[in-house]
Amino acid sequence: MAKHRIALIEGDGIGHEVIPAARRVLDALGFDAEYVEAHAGYEYFLDHGTSTPDATYEAVENTHATLFGAATSPTDKPKGFQGAIRHLRQKYGLYANVRPTKTRPVPGAFQNVDLVIVRENTQGLYVEQERLYGDTAIADTVITRGASQAIGQFATRLAMTRRQQLTVVHKANVLPVTQGLFLNTIMDEARLIDGLNLGTMIVDNAAMQLVRNPQQFDVLVMTNMFGDILSDLAAGLVGGLGIAASGNIGDQFGIFESVHGSAPDIAGKGVANPTATVLAAVLMLQHLGEAELAAKLDNAVNRILEEGPRTRDLGGTAGTEEFTRALIGML
Ligand code: NAI
Ligand code: MG
């Protein structure tokens, strides 16, 4: 019997290209796993009337971790459609969205960046409670003490395994009730930790500081939408979405995915960069306690990024297949 059971969800668009590539890479790495393939996303919804079938829940629940490709969420939401990845995050209480940003050998990257954005993953504005009253649209934002405590503790623990520095990013100056609860709850938790270098920063300043001096940061924690936006910004500092990975982590389950979406502009063309999904697999390996395999894969990715072939998003000419083969060759 294989040591690990892994659910694989391709999802939509380039998910069909990057997940098979990542699986081949994991095989070449010698990762001892049995895979359970499952469906989720907009394409599945169009064919079957649901974005997430029961078999997908079973796959997530009966495996040790899930590797997820990408899911489309159309701006013009059809009736009955539920964004697949947001739904899974909610259903399984995957409250921590962990998005590391690290300098890798790619052209134009900021040097010496090594930070992690920890995004609260289940609340904030993304509870998707919107209403229209005539010409007025209202969206709820939900912040609870419990969820803020959980994400605060997660971020604090993570910071203590790194450079012991935590920045709480917020907008409590304008939204003292919701953002204030988030900020104060985390500050109360984090102040109790000996040796933690704790700071706060207002989100708009954080956006500017990330661009001007990203090296000052270690771990940053923030509410859902701020984390969504700033983590793409951070990805842009070091080479873009083609190499940005994330983990959705709860007390029981973990779903690992790229930061990018389904990339309809390039889907089906064989040019998607699978690195983001491969690096999501690195986070998955770390989560599964396979530190050695994780390090080996991470190093192989860096060597390929340095020596080539490079995909088009990083200024090269390689397609998904050529890049994947080169990475497999390196392993
Ligand atoms: P996107 O992340 O899909 O693409 C943004 C840009 O980056 C595009 O030009 C795309 O070609 C490029 N890109 C993304 N991944 C790449 C890769 N691996 N290799 C090379 N180039 C890559 O964001 P977009 O276009 O705003 O959204 C498309 C769909 O994806 C939407 O329906 C959106 O809702 C969804 N989405 C889903 C996410 C998820 O599943 N977690 C995250 C972000 C968007
Ligand atoms: Mg996003």
Q: What is the pLDDT of residue 58?
A: 97
* Mean pLDDT, residues 280-307 taken together: 97
- CATH label of the domain that carries residue 160: 3.40.718.10
What distance in angstroms lies between residue 265's CA and the mean position of ligand 1's atoms? 9
The answer on 139 and 208 residing in a single domain is yes
177 half-sphere exposure, CB direction, 13 A CA radius: 3
Q: What is the pLDDT of residue 186?
A: 98
Reply yes or no on whether the pLDDT at 1 is more than 90: no
pLDDT per position as a tens digit, 226-242: 999 999 999 999 999 99
Does some domain include residue 105? no
228 is catalytic: yes
How many domains does the chain contain in total? Answer: 2
* Mean pLDDT, residues 270-289 taken together: 98
Instruction: Give the Cα separation of 87 and 73 in Å (integer).
Output: 11
Residue whose tokens read 């909610």: 90
The answer on 118 and 154 residing in a single domain is yes
- Cis peptide leading into residue 53 (ω within 30°): no
The answer on 41 and 120 residing in a single domain is no
| Ligand closest to the CA atom of residue 119 | 2
The answer on 229 and 124 residing in a single domain is yes
Catalytic residue among 126, 218, 298, 313: 126
Does some domain include residue 93? yes
171 is catalytic: yes
At residue 256 the predicted structure's pLDDT band, cuts being 50, 70 and 90, is very high
Instruction: Give the Cα separation of 94 and 328 in Å (integer).
Output: 31
What distance in angstroms lies between residue 148's CA and the mean position of ligand 1's atoms? 28
The pairing of strands 65-70 and 33-38 is unpaired
pLDDT per position as a tens digit, 130-169: 999 999 999 999 999 999 999 999 999 999 999 999 999 9
Residue type, 310: R
Q: What is the pTM of this model?
A: 0.95
- Residue 81 CA to chain centroid, in angstroms? 22
Instruction: Give the Cα separation of 122 and 128 in Å (integer).
Output: 10
Query: 220, 237, 254: which is the final residue of a domain?
Result: 237
Q: What is the pLDDT of residue 292?
A: 98
Query: 237, 254, 270: which is the final residue of a domain?
Result: 237
The answer on 82 and 3 residing in a single domain is yes
**Closest ligand 1 atom, residue 68 Cα:** 40
204 is catalytic: yes
- Please give the residue range of the domain that contains residue 179: 110-237
Does some domain include residue 157? yes
